[in-house]
Amino acid sequence: NTMSETSVPFFFGWFLSSSYQDKLRSMASDFLKILGNLDAFKKHIGDFSGDPEKGVDLEQYFSDKGVLHCTTKFCDYGKEQGAKEYMEKQEVCESYGRASELELTALFITPRTAGAQVSLSEAQLQLWPEDSEKEDLPRGSRAHVTLGCAEGVEPVQTGLDLLEIIAQKKQGEEGEKIQDLDLGALTYYGKGAWMLSLKEPIRAQSCFSSYYG
Ligand code: ACK
């Protein structure tokens, strides 16, 4: 199974099966509805440049970015550094088209993006690029599913927002525990960053593949 004659895609990643896309979208929509109506959220509504009286409709604030997936390697049709090498890796060739279960452990939003945090298995980490984190953080820290972006924001931002929250935690900033929701514990990390740790992580059926666009 070699891909040397295949043209370089836009990106590689795990693509959620359609039933899990529906499930995750509906969970995210519940979360955004609940969060947007919390007093604790309204108190910090300035982060989202909203009116404290009116609130913010978070579901409208974030627009959908298409098929839900967790990017492994962004290739930009070969323009990105290491794209060709990545696609020729043995693990990549062997895993291509294979089913895999993604563990989603948290939902988060910032004034820029909404996403789900992904906790990668050892086998999944074999497909993770070496240089993805570019920071002093464990490999795979950036793994996420983008759920939506604010106007004018590109989806690449979601992983960067997640890294920022993880870096904050690592520096011992535990965040402000807000309350326990049905789905899990809600924490505020400042500057508009909110994270809901799922009581029961979602194990989403996915397929390792690529996107040409
Ligand atoms: O939401 P994402 O992970 O962020 O999925 C999309 C996908 O590739 C197509 O745009 C991600 N992406 C875009 N640019 C980059 C980049 N420079 N580094 C890593 N991921 C990127 C984007």
pLDDT of residue 166: 96
Q: How much is the pTM?
A: 0.95
Neighbours of 59 (CB within 10 A): 16
pLDDT of residue 9: 96
The ipTM (two decimal places) reads 0.99
- Under the phi-then-psi rule, with left for phi > 0, alpha for psi from -120 to 50, and beta for the rest, what region is 200? beta
Q: Which atom of ligand 1 is nearest to the CA of 213?
A: 9
Please indicate whether residue 69 is annotated as part of the active site. yes
Neighbours of 179 (CB within 10 A): 9
Residue-wise pLDDT tens for the chain (213 aa)? 555 556 999 999 999 999 999 999 999 999 999 999 999 999 999 999 767 677 789 999 999 989 999 999 999 999 999 999 999 999 999 999 999 999 999 999 999 999 999 999 999 999 999 988 977 899 999 999 999 999 999 999 999 999 999 999 999 999 999 999 999 999 999 999 999 999 999 999 999 999 998
pLDDT of residue 134: 75
pLDDT of residue 36: 94
pLDDT of residue 56: 87
Residue 81 CB-density burial (10 A; 0-12 exposed, 13-18 middle, 19+ buried): exposed
Residue 161 CA to ligand 1 center (angstroms) comes to 13
Question: CA–CA separation, 91 vs 152, rounded Å?
Answer: 35
Q: Which atom of ligand 1 is nearest to the CA of 211?
A: 9
Residue 162 CA to ligand 1 center (angstroms) comes to 13
